């Protein structure tokens, strides 16, 4: 059976009906839900197993039959651990149908079908009784319902329902307890992701609107691999605070709650953000602990376990506030059933505000709804700004008529500040248009940029007052872009606007190049690596289901990843492999490129890293990937502002580093789809 579904094409801006099998979405979900990073997390698995064995032993010591409830079983691994540890029966609940089917296959393959029942439901829909999903209530509950924020996947309401309806009281829980920690910091790097900063533009100064400075920002958590943020880029203003704990063996409430930690400031500075993580105590004594702390908190960073399913959190305070050394401070965290937020009070504020509820952060300036956190960082990057300003300075004239084509971009504002005769900007989003207008108003430049809320193909000469465009500019940045080459949407806009350009019009950027390097990942390879056997259990049916789903898709694809969070080594040189000339119209025929890059360093190649570089002028370029040369050892430094593309190899290639083998590549840009088809092979030279 075939069905039509609408598929967005970020590079072209089009949304076309595509004929797909009725099983397309099913296979897409399986392909994207690979649990490899969790199954490869030996530290997590080992500590869960230790906690499960201890819980089963405690119940048996009381002379009771051990009945386990495993909520969110995934592959069924924890249920199999429970039965191996001596549990009499296990109810394994999994709401995601493909995973429930995978769990059934895995449980059967390992010979546990008689003692493990897979229930394909949400746990809040599970019933108990002679005709129910469970014959009796459980006396041991095992869960892995946690995300980076601990409670973001609905752990609290799931536990609350389970204690009321599915569990005996008292019961044993694995994990037994979770504890959230937080630390107050000042960090120019982190704060650059929260607020627009003043910037120097061609001898002038651009300031953010006052409303942005007063705005509490987006309320969603900023989850990152904090291990990759140097502690030297943060001033730790206070000690690591224990904010609150949840005992999962007792009834849990999902109601809104607040917790406060009081401490004395270690040093003076500007309180801007709170860094946070949590630990799991697998047993009541706290002797088996699974920690999410960043690697730089360990005495030896190399022994810290790597996880991508659980990272660390950054919470931005509603406003930065001065802190003096020795000052008494109160850090408050408030949470509902799915999220947390923080507030800070100094000693002078505590008396009058102690009982006031901490309001949930809410964006009132619209900027935090238009710009993502990496986008804030990009706009605040002074070196990047200087590159664009230098490029504009070289092309602007007194009679320049400029048109900006990017989402929520400040380039049109820059062009006006630098003396362009007339500046227009295309904005598809009304909200983005209003944010740029706020910036203009805050800098007394009302009307300096005509904001046009139309698509490029809809723009007419009348919209430009009969003027022809002499400078077409873009960063390019588009909110719909996922992969690096999706920003080629700028090229499609440039082509649509050809009739409105002067014959000698400047296109900025004038070109873009797709770049690649073959890499060995320190840890990221785990998310796509087959598991086969995990902690002594055969989980190959999961690998097989994922592989079938990948094969179901007509072509293998690259994935977007922020590589600054995932260290890797370059095994080949970095190279430009495809060029897109924006001074010309999009061609009718595909563009192809083939070649090879010799392996010059020894290692195991896990994949190909891909990124775009934008050539603003003949001598000014901006990279959305590698920033700076690769070190002699192959260490790479990646832009924090954009995600790069990663093409994972199904089987890693071994490199001896003697140049006798190479990564061969083949790229084809399809103008009709705006997509790039790619293929890579390891070959001997």
Residue positions annotated with a catalytic role: 144, 153
Let me know: does 380 contact 200? Beta carbons within 8 Å. no
Let me know: does 318 contact 538? Beta carbons within 8 Å. no
Measured between alpha carbons, how far is 319 from 316 in angstroms, rounded to an integer? 8
Cα 552 to its chain centre, rounded Å, is 26
Which residue bears the tokens 């909200």?
Answer: 431
CA dihedral 500, 504, 505, 508 (to 10 degrees): 150
- Residue 658: C-alpha distances to residues 460, 522, 571, 598, 631 (Å): 58, 21, 11, 9, 18
Spatial strand order of the sheet with 661-670 comes to 591-598, 661-670, 675-684
Let me know: does 290 contact 313? Beta carbons within 8 Å. no
CA dihedral 28, 31, 33, 39 (to 10 degrees): 170
- Helices 77-84/42-61 angle, 10° precision: 40
- Look up residue 84 and give its two tokens: 């191996």
- Helices 97-109/24-32 angle, 10° precision: 70
3-state secondary structure 23-72: CHHHHHHHHHCCCHHHHCCHHHHHHHHHHHHHHHHHHHHCCCCCEEEEEC
Measured between alpha carbons, how far is 441 from 137 in angstroms, rounded to an integer? 63
CA-wise closest residue to 495 among 472, 479, 477, 476: 472
Q: What is the CA radius of gyration of the chain?
A: 28
DSSP state of 220: S
Let me know: does 347 contact 327? Beta carbons within 8 Å. yes
- Residue 649: C-alpha distances to residues 468, 545, 601 (Å): 48, 18, 18
Measured between alpha carbons, how far is 477 from 544 in angstroms, rounded to an integer? 38
- Look up residue 418 and give its two tokens: 């630098």
* Angle at alpha carbon of residue 300, lines to 293 and 178, rounded to 5°: 20
- Residue 92: C-alpha distances to residues 50, 103, 112, 569 (Å): 19, 9, 12, 41
- What DSSP line would sit under 516-575, residue for residue? EEEEEESSGGGGGS--SEETTEE-HHHHHHHHHHHHHSSS---EEE-GGGS-EEESS--E
- Look up residue 446 and give its two tokens: 């009302």
- DSSP H/E element including 592: strand 591-598
CA-wise closest residue to 273 among 196, 341, 363, 205: 341
- Look up residue 546 and give its two tokens: 């994922």
- Look up residue 62 and give its two tokens: 């009381």
Let me know: does 95 contact 120? Beta carbons within 8 Å. yes
User: Phi and psi (nearest 5°) for 139?
Assistant: -115, 5
- Look up residue 355 and give its two tokens: 């009982």
Measured between alpha carbons, how far is 654 from 316 in angstroms, rounded to an integer? 43
């Amino acid at each position: 059976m075939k069905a039509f579904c609408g598929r967005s094409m970020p590079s072209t801006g089009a949304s076309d009906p595509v004929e797909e099998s009725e099983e397309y979405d099913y296979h897409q979900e399986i392909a994207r839900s690979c649990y490899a990073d969790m199954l490869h997390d030996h530290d997590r698995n080992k500590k869960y197993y230790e906690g499960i064995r201890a819980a089963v032993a405690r119940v048996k010591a009381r002379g009771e039959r051990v009945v386990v409830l495993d909520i969110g079983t995934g592959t069924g691994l924890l249920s199999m651990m429970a039965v191996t540890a001596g549990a009499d029966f296990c109810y394994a609940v999994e709401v995601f149908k493909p995973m429930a089917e995978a769990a059934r296959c895995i449980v059967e393959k390992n010979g546990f079908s008689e003692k493990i029942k897979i229930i394909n439901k949400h746990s809040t829909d599970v019933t108990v009784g002679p005709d129910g999903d469970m014959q009796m209530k459980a006396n041991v509950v095992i869960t892995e319902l946690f995300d980076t924020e601990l409670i973001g996947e609905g752990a609290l309401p799931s536990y609350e329902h389970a204690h009321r309806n599915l569990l005996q009281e008292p019961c044993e829980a694995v994990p037994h307890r979770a504890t959230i920690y937080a630390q107050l910091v000042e960090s120019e790097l982190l704060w650059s992701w929260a607020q627009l900063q003043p910037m120097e533009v061609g001898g002038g100064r651009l300031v953010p609107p006052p409303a942005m400075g007063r705005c509490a920002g987006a309320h969603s958590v900023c989850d990152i691999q904090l291990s990759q943020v140097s502690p030297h880029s943060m001033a730790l203003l206070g000690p690591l605070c224990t904010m609150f704990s949840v005992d999962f063996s007792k009834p849990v409430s999902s109601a809104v709650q607040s917790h406060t930690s009081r401490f004395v400031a270690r040093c003076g500075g500007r309180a801007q953000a709170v860094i946070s993580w949590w630990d799991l105590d697998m047993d009541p004594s706290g002797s088996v602990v699974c920690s999410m702390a960043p690697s730089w908190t360990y005495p030896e960073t190399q022994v810290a376990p790597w996880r991508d399913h659980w990272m660390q959190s950054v919470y931005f305070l509603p406003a930065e506030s001065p802190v003096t050394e020795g000052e008494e401070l109160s850090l408050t965290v408030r949470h509902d059933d799915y999220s947390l937020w923080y507030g800070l009070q100094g000693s002078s504020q505590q008396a009058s505000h102690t009982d006031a509820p901490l309001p949930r952060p809410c964006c009132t300036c619209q900027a935090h709804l238009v710009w993502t956190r990496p986008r804030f960082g990009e706009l605040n990057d002074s070196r990047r700004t200087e590159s664009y300003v230098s490029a504009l300075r070289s092309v602007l004239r007194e009679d320049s008529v400029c048109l900006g084509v990017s989402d929520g971009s400040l380039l049109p504002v820059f062009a006006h500040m630098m003396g362009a005769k007339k500046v227009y900007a295309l904005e598809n989003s009304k909200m983005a248009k209003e944010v740029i207008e706020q910036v203009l108003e805050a800098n007394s430049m009302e009307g300096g940029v005509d904001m046009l809320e139309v698509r490029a193909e809809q723009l007419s000469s009348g919209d430009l007052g009969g003027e022809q465009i002499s400078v077409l500019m873009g960063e390019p940045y588009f909110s719909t872009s996922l992969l690096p080459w999706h920003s080629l949407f700028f090229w499609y806009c440039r082509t649509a606007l050809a009739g409105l350009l002067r014959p000698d019009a400047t296109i900025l950027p004038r070109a873009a190049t797709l770049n690649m390097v073959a890499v060995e990942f320190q840890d990221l390879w785990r998310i796509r690596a087959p598991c086969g056997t995990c902690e002594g259990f055969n989980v190959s049916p999961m690998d097989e289901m994922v592989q079938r789903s990948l094969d179901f898709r007509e072509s293998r694809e690259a994935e977007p990843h922020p590589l600054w969070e995932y260290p890797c080594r370059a095994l080949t040189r970095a190279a430009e492999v495809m060029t897109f000339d924006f001074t010309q119209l999009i061609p009718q025929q595909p563009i192809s490129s083939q070649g090879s890059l010799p392996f010059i360093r020894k290692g195991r190649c896990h994949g190909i890293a891909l990124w775009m570089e934008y050539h603003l002028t003949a001598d000014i370029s901006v990279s959305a990937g590698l920033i700076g040369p690769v070190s002699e050892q192959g260490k790479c430094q990646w832009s924090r502002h954009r995600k790069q593309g990663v093409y994972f190899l199904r089987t890693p290639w071994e490199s001896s580093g003697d140049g006798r083998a190479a990564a061969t590549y083949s790229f084809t840009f399809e103008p009709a789809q705006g997509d790039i088809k790619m293929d890579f092979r390891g070959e001997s030279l």
